[in-house]
Structure 1
Amino acid sequence: MSEQRPKRQARRTLPARKRIALVAHDGKKNEMLDWANRWRDELSRHQLVGTGTTARRISKELGLEVEGLMSGPLGGDQQIGARIAEGNLDILIFLWDPFAPMPHDPDVKALLRLAALWNVPVASNAASADFMFNSALMSQAVEVAVPDANDWVSTRA
């Protein structure tokens, strides 16, 4: 069995002005809007990106500038995952509905896997997002460990 793992860690700096992805499943969109409204001032200081309806609603209803991507099931989750892998996303706020069936579950798992691999802070509910946004680290540059993409090795078990 062949397995790939980074041999060593590299570092990257999350800037003071974070690049934040906002994603919410259908049953969590109103919760996302309520949360984003509470944090509107803080969110306005950062660069926002969101999937489909979530991005449109936050932009329209809260007046925040949000770059809209595709809907999650149509490729939006993968677009966000690509930004993570490229080092172009710093925080993921992903309010997912644990009771809703997800036909695009493999995409969601791939997105969360990339966030874990690349050490991207993730909030999966409003409470964890509140804790994250209450942190002094939200407004300052922060260095984090990431896989050294230039140093991947193949091992055999």
Structure 2
Amino acid sequence: MAKLNIVLFEPEIPANTGNIGRTCVATGTRLHLIEPLGFRLNEKALKRAGMDYWKDLDVTTYIDYADFLEKNPGAKIYMATTKAKKTYTEVAYEPDCYIMFGKESAGIPEEILVENQETAIRIPMINDIRSLNLGNSVAIVLYEALRQNHFDHMQLEGDLHRLHWKG
């Protein structure tokens, strides 16, 4: 079973993290938060964005990037950044891989990116745009990884109830 992992490096905006948490619950994805966070995990804005799903979220926090690496040895980590050469569709996501996103104001630090150039990925955009919203970026890349893993463990069909027309 595919069990993907989203990693947020020092997220700053609680609403973004709440939305991402909700997406993780809806997809059976684990969320990893690398401190320092720009908010407290009990903040109202975080809970509001994550709605009542936050209690169902598989979330782990780490005191820093070194702590994250120590507790996830050998993890395959894709680094989402505007500085990557490859797009997010040019890689094959393993069922247990980690996809890291940087903080809203600065992204993933360059010293981390330099060490991980071969797994750095980007979402194509026109030149004049600095970056996409963090929640949108996570959704775009996560759903590509889920698609590549055949949406393993996810409901693929809805149930549309027909309305009766009297015309």
TM-score band w.r.t. shorter chain: 0.3 to 0.5
Higher relative contact order (CA closer than 8 Å, sequence separation 6+): 1
More strand by share: 1
Q: What TM-score comes out, normalization by structure 2 length? A: 0.44
Larger-gyration structure (1/2): 2
Q: What TM-score comes out, normalization by structure 1 length? A: 0.46
